[in-house]
Structure 1
Amino acid sequence: MSDAAVLLWGVASLLGTAVLAIALSRTPGSGTRLVYGLTLGISATALLVLAGRMLEAPVTPSTAVLPVGLPWVGAHFRLDALSTFFLVVINFGGAMASLYGLGYGSHEPSPHRVLPFFPAFLAGMNLVVLADDAFTFLLSWEFMSLSSWALVIVHHRERENARAGYIYLVMASFGTLALLLAFGLLSGPGGNYTFEAMRAAGPTPLVATFVLALMLLGAGSKAGLVPLHVWLPLAHPAAPSHVSALMSGVMTKVAVYGFIRVVFDLLGEPTWWSSTIVLFFGGLTAVLGILYALMEKDLKRLLAYSTIENIGVIFVSLGLALAFKANAMPSAAALALTAALFHALNHSFFKSLLFFGAGAVLTATGERDMEKLGGLIHRMPQTSFVFLVGCVAISSLPPFNGFVSEWLAFQAVLQSPDLPQWGLKVMVPAVGGLLALSAALAAACFVKAFGITFLGRPRTSAVEHAHEADRYSLAAMFILAALCLLAGILPGFVIDGLSPVTLSLIGSRMPVQMAQPWLSIVPIAESRSSYNGLLVFVFIAISASAAVYVIHRFASHALRRGPAWGCGFADAVPGSQYTGVSFAQPIRRVFGAFVFRATESVEMPAPGETGPARFNLQIHDVIWETLYLPIGKALDFATDHLNHLQFLTIRRYLTLVFLFLIVLLLVLALWP
């Protein structure tokens, strides 16, 4: 049995688990451990199969065809280097979410609304990556979207969650339509629906341009590219936390896979100017995503906006890979593509970890508003530790994994002087500046997230009675934290593991990293740059240990303990502490007027009055107000005025059908 067939049996097992969850829904509470245990086992088994494939050299594609789908075509599935990597991301994320769900699921008030769709969601993502024809891909994509939508509206009685589900469904339908048109153009008039036929056909430059634009709309809307991101900060917080981790850390990577599969594999050789489009939207997404995150006080919405920023980093790297590939610079293209894939893997690690931590905080306190938290480091010390690891990793600080992938992206940016086009010579450094800005803002954002949530004093009574997370949740978080460190100090293993993907798509790879002394990584050549995460880790560990020893051995022997956040007062109240809004104020004043149309006003009582001073802040979502609200109003206007078409006579209906038939015949007659 081929590896592709084994993985399809795994998908069938996930779908069977979903059916079992429906059968168990009549006895609430009995199926939680069983369903999550089964999904954990299935995902772990798939990981073992995929790990065996990745150890092969070279990796040979594995195929399977099922007699379902379109007549005389069937459903084609293919497991190659690219799909193997993304299946590792999906199934590892699914395994960690299942492990976390073993504990977190016991706190879910409506488990019968979650359990059937959780394995179905995993099955849909696996099928998208395995699909090898347009019909199977689109069917699996829609199945993935609908099952995740069902998880978004689990708590549908809350008004904001129902709104989030509605917007998500609209944007998902729009994305699927864009993908349908893209595959229609690729299949051509002959209806070559298989990916193999699309590769062999080779689209014209005009068709390739339209397909690229449609893929940016279709895959970009699912990934969260600006300005198609509006559903993401609504849907991710609405879902249960382990589902939020899957949607943010894994599902967005399925969208990245779809973009890479079409643009790098099916479209053939790219043009240099097509890369500028990807670079522009990637840079814009990275900066706006993290700026929106900085303005947030809802912990899960902050993490959702941060996902947008990281998707921007990935698309910047993909744009660089397209630019280098179009100019026959395979080594630089392999470096940029490796950076994109490495960051996709890293993001699945630390974003899942952070959403798990946010779920533990929500379970313990019932709060997502950071302004009502604080002091949790004393009540949830293990959760606070792993959350801190995730914050450092996502802030791209060494020695953790986020630094390595972003460092590789910057190394790719430094290759831009070798590009022949002046447009790219100017644009690539500008986008590099946006990447640097987003990295700095990300560090500020997660200083705020960790400090306001875990440090200081409790702001509410709910925090004072918080408790540590269960052992399953902690196990999942500690595994992810360990991987964030291991991928940061031993990145050569990951880079060499990604080489089959870059070889299949670019025809080149980065130098063999495991052959470098001291486990250093060398993107291009030793004469240009290198990085050794292991030495950096050892240096930090020794320096920190020495500093602690010197302070406790030679400094004052008197140890004093006092209340946190004294702020100059002997008995400070919790309200005197820094808040998330005040922390973001300097950045808001720099960017707020342009990005958010932010307005601030202060109401001060007159001298002698005892009333409180009030600070009023208004922040606007400019993209929502200038793009989506007008579209919604236009649709409302059109539907109101077209409503009378429901009440026409049969004669007028036949006349309309006849007129539209004439129009369609004219279009076909004039089609070149």
Structure 2
Amino acid sequence: MCAAASLILGGVGGVLARRPAGRMIVYGGSLAIAVVALLAALAQLALGIAPDPLVVLPIGLPHLGASGLGMQFGMDDLAAAFLIIANIGGAAASLFALGYARHEAEPWRVLPVYPVFLAAMNLVVIAADAYGFLLCWEVMSLASWALVMAHHSEAATRRAGVIYLLMASAGTLALLLCFGLLAGPAGDYAFAAMRAVPRARWIGSAVMILALLGAGSKAGLVPLHVWLPRAHPAAPSHVSALMSGVMTKVAVYAFIRIAFDLAGPPAWWWGLVVLLAGGMTAVLGVLYALMEDDIKTILAYSTIENVGLIFVGLGLALAFKADGMMAAAALALTAALFHALNHMLFKSTLFFGAGAIQHATGTRDLAQLGGLIHRMRRSAVPMLIAALAIAALPPLNGFASEWLLLQAILLSPALPQFGLKLAVPAIGALVALSAAFAAACFVRLYGIAYLGRARGTAAAAAQETDRWSLSAMIVLAALCVAAGLLPGFAIDLLAPVTHALLGARVSTQAGLSWLTIVPVASRQNAYDPLLIALFIAISAVIGALALRRFGVRITRRAPAWGCGYQEFGPPARTLITQYSPSGFVQPIRRVFAGVIFRAHDEATLPLPGEAHPARLNLRWSDPAWSLLYAPLIGAIDWLAGQTNRLQFLTIRRYLAFVFMALVALLGWIALWG
């Protein structure tokens, strides 16, 4: 019903898109629908109040095995968990858009498609057959493409749209082949029938690889990520939040549904493949983010890093499941699901903040920002909370889920395979390295954008965002704090999912003293978020009182230390002594990016006597793009150019082609008929 209401709302948006009331109706209605869907999913997962197990719509293709005509939809525990993620993100984005969308130049390009995008993501999650899944998956892809192309007048947006369509089509083809193998000779595309089909081990392995390619391309796994940092920043900010925070989680859901539910018993090397893909994605994603100066591009690359962390947890769960270690598999799967929820919370907040900055200053370039904490005081607070959460600092939610993931990694010595014994500790080191890089990345983003002095006139004249946008940011930031301080409730909420998929769950956490979480039997592996939060608060208060009591009481004013630069002229000239985005990350760039991304600095110095300033240019390249996609696109362009000649042939040559095709068809019938 909620999905149908969203589709109807899309039609209303098409009619009222050019009227001022259209924005309030579409986004207000989307907010209400998302809240209702969220409550239904929470009721099933927390209270066990489940709707009808299966709903069949008389829409579809005939002769699809025993299921016949119709699309099937149902909400099990796995679907309910991802409906919670989808509808928290959808509700927050709709609330944010009530204020932010007033500044949209062409709302008629967004309003009709936005509710359809929300409906498609929900329908993918509750689809119970391959036909409905793939149809809704394609609607989701096309709706998000249309939203990306809302600012179609920009050349970069058009290029991003083309790359997105190509990658989405390739991913859908992989999923189509995957479901074809799952259906088997009977060709029954209902998920219930797929679970019952006996299949060879190699078919299950092929299904897993195809699912990793199809879902991984939508989620942003390296090297299938090239569309994501181009498409996500091109969309309006509330759509960017949905694409990064929610749509990538729908892709994670697709992989879990296939690999854990439909593909059959896993082989141990499945986990190794997924682990390697996740670990490489996590480190490279955050390194990409450190190289960028555009705020939304930084956040898009950071999404790649967090998707990598989620797939590390899924790979661990597959490896533990293959070896019968169901309790450890439940811990790893819980960590992955919890991080998926957490990433939606803090990444949506950050994209909302990026939208507020873009509207207030007219730019997303870090080098043009600075000092926004003095002009955007209220929105700076939820942005700080989200930045601390994504940097995995306690006691916030990002730390809680990554700590669970590390606890699962510490259980890996019990795995019998030598390849896993060797790979998992290395992946654990990559996870720790990505966490350190993430901290540096968001210290850089928040510090340069909000602290210091304004580097441009637009930043100096910035004003606070509207109350609707601010409310959405505050709500999500509060959920980041709540999930960080009370992670045991989130773990218990996810327990039915792991029990349904693995037959095991993490032990109940809610009844422990101080709401401590103990994911494994040993108390030595406990985490006490409330005690840590109390310690941080007491330490801060004591430090402030000590400074007030024993610090120097005489206020002294003097020019700020400029790192050896002599100040000439007005104070504005001292802005050059602030850290620039490129300068902040230069040590990491020189150590890591020189080899991986071929990054190098080009300094152009004036000759003696010349008055023009020195110039520093940073160059780096994406190895996946330069080695894989650029040659592929070049080959496709060449083939298209050669094929284009066919439209200029004469009628005699067209008839000759038809005659040769007829002869070939008759020959095939004669040989094989």
Q: What's the counterpart of residue 16 of structure 1?
A: 8
Task: Return the letter of the residue paired with 1:621.
Answer: D
Q: 2:366 aligns with which of 354, 365, 370?
A: 370
Aligned partners of 1:516 and 1:48: how far apart in 2? 27
1:546 and 1:199, CA in 2 relative to 1: closer, same or farther beyond 3 A? same
630-639 vs 75-84, which moves further: 630-639
Alignment of 1:570-649 (within 5 A): 571=571, 572-646=573-647, 647=649, 648-649=653-654
Q: 2:476 aligns with which of 459, 475, 480?
A: 480
Task: Return the letter of the residue paired with 1:13.
Answer: A
Please report how far the alpha carbon of residue 621 of structure 1 lies from its aligned counterpart in structure 2 after TM superposition: 1.5
Aligned partners of 1:98 and 1:665: how far apart in 2? 62
Q: Is the 8 A contact 2:396 2:483 kept in 1?
A: yes
Q: What's the counterpart of residue 65 of structure 2?
A: none
Q: What's the counterpart of residue 351 of structure 1?
A: 347
Which deviations, in whole Å up to 9, do the C-alpha atoms of 1:565-619 show, x marking residues without a partner? 8545564522221111111110010112211111223222344443322222211
Aligned partners of 1:395 and 1:298: how far apart in 2? 18
Aligned partners of 1:660 and 1:275: how far apart in 2? 46
Please report how far the alpha carbon of residue 655 of structure 1 lies from its aligned counterpart in structure 2 after TM superposition: 2.1
1:418 and 1:464, CA in 2 relative to 1: closer, same or farther beyond 3 A? same
Aligned partners of 1:434 and 1:454: how far apart in 2? 30
Please report how far the alpha carbon of residue 534 of structure 1 lies from its aligned counterpart in structure 2 after TM superposition: 0.9
Q: What's the counterpart of residue 520 of structure 2?
A: 524
Number of residues of Structure 1 aligned to a counterpart in Structure 2 = 659
Corresponding position: 1:267 with 2:263: yes
Tell me, what secondary structure is at the counterpart of 1:273? helix
1:28 and 1:561, CA in 2 relative to 1: closer, same or farther beyond 3 A? farther
1:562 and 1:14, CA in 2 relative to 1: closer, same or farther beyond 3 A? farther
Q: What's the counterpart of residue 423 of structure 1?
A: 419
Aligned partners of 1:377 and 1:145: how far apart in 2? 37
Q: 2:505 aligns with which of 505, 509, 525?
A: 509
Corresponding position: 1:31 with 2:22: yes
1:209 and 1:654, CA in 2 relative to 1: closer, same or farther beyond 3 A? farther
Alignment of 1:73-112 (within 5 A): 73-112=69-108
Please report how far the alpha carbon of residue 180 of structure 1 lies from its aligned counterpart in structure 2 after TM superposition: 0.6
Q: What's the counterpart of residue 656 of structure 1?
A: 661
Which deviations, in whole Å up to 9, do the C-alpha atoms of 1:40-85 show, x marking residues without a partner? 1111111122222123248687221111112233110010000000
Please report how far the alpha carbon of residue 380 of structure 1 lies from its aligned counterpart in structure 2 after TM superposition: 0.3
1:455 and 1:207, CA in 2 relative to 1: closer, same or farther beyond 3 A? same
Task: Return the letter of the residue paired with 1:11.
Answer: A
Aligned partners of 1:620 and 1:482: how far apart in 2? 38
Aligned partners of 1:46 and 1:136: how far apart in 2? 19
Aligned partners of 2:145 and 2:219: how far apart in 1? 15
Which deviations, in whole Å up to 9, do the C-alpha atoms of 1:299-321 show, x marking residues without a partner? 00000000000000000000000
Q: 1:360 aligns with which of 329, 350, 356?
A: 356
Task: Return the letter of the residue paired with 1:150.
Answer: A
Please report how far the alpha carbon of residue 36 of structure 1 lies from its aligned counterpart in structure 2 after TM superposition: 0.7
642-651 vs 293-302, which moves further: 642-651
Task: Return the letter of the residue paired with 1:614.
Answer: R
Aligned partners of 1:312 and 1:501: how far apart in 2? 21
Q: Is the 8 A contact 1:513 1:521 kept in 2?
A: yes
311-320 vs 655-664, which moves further: 655-664
Q: What's the counterpart of residue 60 of structure 2?
A: 69
Q: Is the 8 A contact 1:279 1:315 kept in 2?
A: yes
Q: 2:152 aligns with which of 134, 138, 156?
A: 156
Alignment of 1:458-469 (within 5 A): 458-469=454-465
1:560 and 1:458, CA in 2 relative to 1: closer, same or farther beyond 3 A? same
Alignment of 1:314-393 (within 5 A): 314-393=310-389
Aligned partners of 1:661 and 1:312: how far apart in 2? 52
Which deviations, in whole Å up to 9, do the C-alpha atoms of 1:83-122 show, x marking residues without a partner? 0000011111110000000100111111111111110100
Q: Is the 8 A contact 2:43 2:49 kept in 1?
A: no
Q: Is the 8 A contact 1:565 1:577 kept in 2?
A: no
Which deviations, in whole Å up to 9, do the C-alpha atoms of 1:541-573 show, x marking residues without a partner? 111111111111221122456777854556452
Q: 1:121 aligns with which of 117, 122, 130?
A: 117
Q: What's the counterpart of residue 4 of structure 1?
A: none
Q: What's the counterpart of residue 49 of structure 1?
A: 40
Aligned partners of 1:181 and 1:120: how far apart in 2? 26
Aligned partners of 1:113 and 1:565: how far apart in 2? 50
Corresponding position: 1:165 with 2:164: no
1:633 and 1:498, CA in 2 relative to 1: closer, same or farther beyond 3 A? same
Tell me, what secondary structure is at the counterpart of 2:510? helix
Task: Return the letter of the residue paired with 1:84.
Answer: A
Q: What 5-or-longer segments of structure 1 have no aligned partner?
A: 1-8
1:615 and 1:369, CA in 2 relative to 1: closer, same or farther beyond 3 A? same
335-344 vs 555-564, which moves further: 555-564
Q: Is the 8 A contact 1:63 1:78 kept in 2?
A: yes
1:433 and 1:135, CA in 2 relative to 1: closer, same or farther beyond 3 A? same
Task: Return the letter of the residue paired with 1:313.
Answer: L
Aligned partners of 1:566 and 1:494: how far apart in 2? 48
Q: 2:439 aligns with which of 439, 443, 450?
A: 443
1:191 and 1:584, CA in 2 relative to 1: closer, same or farther beyond 3 A? same
Coordinate RMSD, CA, aligned: 1.8
Which deviations, in whole Å up to 9, do the C-alpha atoms of 1:431-480 show, x marking residues without a partner? 11110110000000001000111111111111111100111111110111
Which deviations, in whole Å up to 9, do the C-alpha atoms of 1:280-325 show, x marking residues without a partner? 1101100100000000000000000000000000000000000000
Aligned partners of 1:117 and 1:235: how far apart in 2? 16
Please report how far the alpha carbon of residue 190 of structure 1 lies from its aligned counterpart in structure 2 after TM superposition: 1.3
Task: Return the letter of the residue paired with 1:655.
Answer: M
Please report how far the alpha carbon of residue 638 of structure 1 lies from its aligned counterpart in structure 2 after TM superposition: 2.1
1:623 and 1:403, CA in 2 relative to 1: closer, same or farther beyond 3 A? same
TM-score by length of 1: 0.95
Aligned partners of 2:213 and 2:558: how far apart in 1? 55
640-649 vs 376-385, which moves further: 640-649
Which deviations, in whole Å up to 9, do the C-alpha atoms of 1:601-645 show, x marking residues without a partner? 322234444332222221112110110011111112222333344
Aligned partners of 2:244 and 2:560: how far apart in 1? 34
Task: Return the letter of the residue paired with 1:574.
Answer: L
Aligned partners of 1:29 and 1:529: how far apart in 2? 55
Corresponding position: 1:237 with 2:228: no
Which deviations, in whole Å up to 9, do the C-alpha atoms of 1:515-560 show, x marking residues without a partner? 2222100111134400011111111111111111111122112245
Q: 2:131 aligns with which of 105, 130, 135?
A: 135
Tell me, what secondary structure is at the counterpart of 1:76? strand
- The percentage of counterpart residues that share the same residue type is 55
TM-score by length of 2: 0.95
Tell me, what secondary structure is at the counterpart of 2:19? coil
Please report how far the alpha carbon of residue 34 of structure 1 lies from its aligned counterpart in structure 2 after TM superposition: 1.4
Q: 2:488 aligns with which of 461, 486, 492?
A: 492
1:375 and 1:313, CA in 2 relative to 1: closer, same or farther beyond 3 A? same
Aligned partners of 1:663 and 1:108: how far apart in 2? 58
543-552 vs 332-341, which moves further: 543-552
Please report how far the alpha carbon of residue 377 of structure 1 lies from its aligned counterpart in structure 2 after TM superposition: 0.5
Q: What's the counterpart of residue 554 of structure 1?
A: 550
